[in-house]
C-alpha cells in the first residue's frame, strides 16, 4: 500500500489533494498524498504476477559478487559549483581498516552531492501547485521551465535566505537550512552480524547510513508528532513534502539528506529498472541498501500495511469510522488487537499543518502509528521484505531495499518504511554512524531556522 509521502509529486495526485483541501475536506478521503513519482519508460508489472516469472539469474545478475568497497561514487577532482563552492563532492576516500580485531570499511565524505536535474512537466506542476506558491516564490511562481537543467543549489526562485545569494539561495523552499560541507567519517563492518530476536536496535533519528555518493540516509521520522503529544509521530516523507528541493533532499544542521527515494540519486547511479538494482548505500549496521528493483520490472515489496480506520469493523481500526483513537498493541502482530491511545489523533478527513506552515490531509498513512507489519506479505517470494525492509536471496546475502509502488502507467510513489523498518536487522557496533534510537540532535531536520527538528 502506498504511503502519502513527499518528493516529486505527480500532477493529477497533487491537484486532487489540493482540491480536497480547498473544499475543506467535505469528503472523507482514502486517497493518499503522494510523495515522489518516477515516470519510467516501461510500465511496472504486477509484482505478484511478476514474481512467478522472475528467476534467480535475473535477480542476481552481476550483483552477487558486489564488492562494497567499490560501490562508492568517488570524487575525482570535482568540486561543488554553488553550495560551499570549491568544496569536494561525493566520497573522498574508502579504505579497509581493522579496529579491535574487526575489519571495517571506512568512508570519508563531505556530504555534498553533484546532482543535476531536468525539470519535467509533472515536476513543474508540483512546484507551481504548492499551497503557498504565492509567497514561497519571489515572483509567485518557480523561475524554471520544462526542460531546464538545474544544478544542485541553483536558484529556482524560492524565497529562502538560509543560503547566501549565489550559494544556494532560492534552491530550497522557505524553512530548511543551507547544507554545509560535512567531515563525515563512517565505519561499516565488513562482516555484519544479524541482531538476536528482541534485541534489534531502533532506527531512531538523524544519520542512519550513507548513500554511495556520501549523502546521509535519514529514516521515516521528522522528530515531530501530532500537537506535540508524542503519540502520533509524523512521517517525514508526508509532513516535509513541501520542504524538499527538486532532488528530494534538504539539510538538518547543515547535513544534507534524503528520507525517501530520490530520482537524482537513481539517475546518478544509473538504475533504470532493467534488472536487480545496484547498491544505493550502506546502513549503519553494515548491510547494503539496494535500490527498488529485485528483477526487471519487479519492485521490492514492503510488508508494512496501512491500518483501516475507515471501516469501523476493521481489526486494525478503532471501532468508529475515520477515528484515530487506538494504537496497535503489537505492530508486528495485529492479532494482538488494539488499545486506547493516550491522545486522540486527527480524523482521516482532518487537515493538519506542517512545521513549515503548509497543510496536508491526515489521510491514513501519514503517521508512524498508522502502520502494522502484515506477515502474509512476507511470503518468501522474490519481492517480499521482512519487518526491517530487507531480505536474503541468491548470493546477495541480507540486504535492505528502497521501497516504491508503481501504478499501471509506471509512475511510482514511496512506500513506508522507505529504507528501514523501526529496527535495524543487524547489530550496531560502538563506532557505528548511528546509535540505537538516537535523536539527530537539537534542530536536526526541518524548518524553521537551520532546518527541521531531530531527524527531519
- Which domain range does residue 192 map to? 11-414
By C-alpha distance, which of 440, 438, 421 is closest to 430? 438
Determine contact, residues 217/207, Cβ cutoff 8 Å. Answer: yes
Which pLDDT belongs to residue 56?
33
Relative to beta strand 216-218, strand 207-211 is antiparallel
Which pLDDT belongs to residue 456?
57
Distance between CA 331 and CA 272 in Å, rounded? 34
Count up the domains in the chain and report the number: 1
Which pLDDT belongs to residue 454?
45
Determine contact, residues 5/414, Cβ cutoff 8 Å. Answer: yes
Written as nine digits, the cell of 362 is: 491526515
The distance of Cα 295 from the centroid of its chain, to the nearest Å, equals 21
Q: Cell 522474490 belongs to which residue? A: 382
Which pLDDT belongs to residue 394?
83
Written as nine digits, the cell of 250 is: 534538504
End-to-end CA distance of the chain: 23
Written as nine digits, the cell of 32 is: 493518499
Distance between CA 46 and CA 40 in Å, rounded? 15
Strand order in the sheet with 184-189: 91-99, 102-109, 184-189
Distance between CA 345 and CA 13 in Å, rounded? 24
Which pLDDT belongs to residue 140?
94
Distance between CA 324 and CA 336 in Å, rounded? 18
Determine contact, residues 147/118, Cβ cutoff 8 Å. Answer: yes
Written as nine digits, the cell of 189 is: 563492518
Which pLDDT belongs to residue 409?
83
Distance between CA 303 and CA 416 in Å, rounded? 9
Which pLDDT belongs to residue 16?
38
Helix (H) or strand (E) holding 102: strand 102-109
Q: Cell 521490492 belongs to which residue? A: 300
Residue 170 lies in a domain: yes
**What sections of 204-247 are H helices per DSSP?**
236-239
| One pLDDT digit (tens) per residue for the chain, 456 residues | 444 443 433 333 333 333 433 443 334 434 333 333 343 333 334 444 444 433 333 333 333 456 899 999 999 999 999 999 999 999 999 999 999 999 999 999 999 999 999 999 999 999 999 999 999 999 999 999 999 999 999 999 999 888 999 999 999 999 888 999 999 999 999 999 999 999 999 998 999 999 999 999 999 999 999 999 999 999 999 999 999 999 999 999 999 999 999 999 999 999 999 999 999 999 999 999 999 999 999 999 999 999 999 999 999 999 999 999 999 999 999 999 999 999 999 999 999 999 888 999 999 999 999 999 999 999 999 999 999 999 998 889 999 999 999 988 888 999 999 999 999 999 999 999 997 765 433 333 333 334 444 455
Relative to beta strand 184-189, strand 207-211 is unpaired
Residue 431 lies in a domain: no
Which pLDDT belongs to residue 9?
37
Residue 448: cis peptide before it, omega within 30 degrees of 0: yes
Which pLDDT belongs to residue 42?
38
Written as nine digits, the cell of 95 is: 579504505
Residue 400 lies in a domain: yes
Written as nine digits, the cell of 105 is: 570499511
Residue 217 lies in a domain: yes
Distance between CA 241 and CA 261 in Å, rounded? 13
Written as nine digits, the cell of 42 is: 516501461
Distance between CA 388 and CA 385 in Å, rounded? 8
Determine contact, residues 195/426, Cβ cutoff 8 Å. Answer: yes
Radius of gyration of the chain measured on its C-alpha atoms: 21
Residue 245 lies in a domain: yes
Determine contact, residues 398/392, Cβ cutoff 8 Å. Answer: yes
Residue 428 lies in a domain: no
Task: Quote the crossing angle between the two packed helices 121-128 and 11-22, to the nearest 10°.
Answer: 20
Written as nine digits, the cell of 228 is: 506535540
| Helices and strands per DSSP (H, E), number in the chain | 7, 25
Which residues does residue 106 pair with via DSSP β-bridges, in sequence order? 95, 187
Residue 316 lies in a domain: yes
Amino acid at each position: 500500500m502506498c504511503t502519502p509521502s513527499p518528493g516529486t509529486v505527480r500532477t493529477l495526485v497533487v491537484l486532487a489533494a489540493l482540491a480536497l483541501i480547498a473544499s475543506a475536506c467535505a469528503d472523507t478521503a482514502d486517497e493518499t498524498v503522494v510523495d515522489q513519482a518516477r515516470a519510467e519508460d516501461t510500465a511496472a508489472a504486477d509484482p505478484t504476477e511478476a514474481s512467478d516469472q522472475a528467476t534467480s539469474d535475473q535477480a542476481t545478475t552481476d550483483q552477487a559478487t558486489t564488492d562494497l568497497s567499490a560501490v562508492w561514487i568517488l570524487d575525482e577532482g570535482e568540486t561543488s559549483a554553488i553550495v560551499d563552492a570549491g568544496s569536494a563532492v561525493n566520497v573522498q576516500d574508502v579504505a579497509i581498516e581493522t579496529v579491535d580485531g574487526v575489519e571495517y570499511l571506512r568512508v570519508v565524505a563531505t556530504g555534498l552531492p553533484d546532482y543535476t536535474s531536468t525539470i519535467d512537466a509533472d515536476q513543474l506542476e508540483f512546484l507551481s501547485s504548492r499551497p503557498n506558491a504565492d509567497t514561497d516564490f519571489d515572483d509567485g511562481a518557480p523561475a524554471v521551465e520544462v526542460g531546464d537543467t538545474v544544478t544542485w543549489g541553483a536558484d529556482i526562485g524560492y524565497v529562502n535566505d538560509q543560503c547566501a545569494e549565489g550559494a544556494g539561495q532560492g534552491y530550497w523552499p522557505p524553512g530548511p537550512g543551507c547544507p554545509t560541507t560535512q567531515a563525515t567519517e563512517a565505519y561499516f563492518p565488513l562482516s555484519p552480524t544479524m541482531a538476536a530476536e528482541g534485541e534489534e536496535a531502533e532506527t531512531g533519528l538523524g544519520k542512519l547510513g550513507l548513500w554511495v555518493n556520501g549523502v546521509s540516509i535519514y529514516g521515516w521520522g521528522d522528530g515531530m508528532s501530532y500537537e506535540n503529544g508524542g503519540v502520533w509521530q509524523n512521517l517525514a516523507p508526508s509532513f516535509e513534502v513541501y520542504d524538499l528541493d527538486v532532488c528530494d533532499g534538504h539539510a538538518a544542521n547543515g547535513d544534507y539528506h534524503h528520507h525517501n527515494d530520490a530520482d537524482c540519486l537513481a539517475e546518478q547511479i544509473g538504475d533504470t529498472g532493467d534488472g536487480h538494482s545496484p547498491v544505493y548505500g550502506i546502513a549503519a549496521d553494515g548491510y547494503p541498501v539496494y535500490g527498488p528493483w529485485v528483477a526487471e520490472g519487479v519492485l521490492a515489496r514492503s510488508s508494512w500495511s496501512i491500518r483501516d480506520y475507515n471501516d469501523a469493523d476493521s481489526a486494525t481500526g478503532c471501532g468508529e469510522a475515520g477515528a484515530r483513537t487506538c494504537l496497535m498493541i503489537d505492530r508486528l502482530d495485529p492479532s494482538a488487537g488494539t488499545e486506547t491511545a493516550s491522545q486522540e489523533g486527527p480524523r482521516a478527513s482532518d487537515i493538519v499543518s506542517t512545521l513549515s506552515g503548509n497543510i496536508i490531509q491526515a489521510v491514513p498513512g501519514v503517521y508512524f502509528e498508522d502502520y502494522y507489519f502484515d506477515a502474509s506479505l512476507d511470503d518468501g517470494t522474490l519481492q517480499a521484505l521482512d519487518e526491517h525492509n530487507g531480505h536474503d536471496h541468491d548470493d546477495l546475502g541480507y540486504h535492505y531495499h528502497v521501497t516504491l509502488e508503481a501504478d499501471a502507467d509506471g509512475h511510482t510513489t514511496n512506500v513506508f518504511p522507505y529504507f528501514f523498518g523501526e529496527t535495524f536487522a543487524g547489530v550496531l557496533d560502538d563506532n557505528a554512524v548511528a546509535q540505537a534510537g538516537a535523536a539527530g540532535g537539537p534542530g536536526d531536520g526541518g524548518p524553521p531556522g537551520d532546518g527541521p527538528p531531530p531527524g527531519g
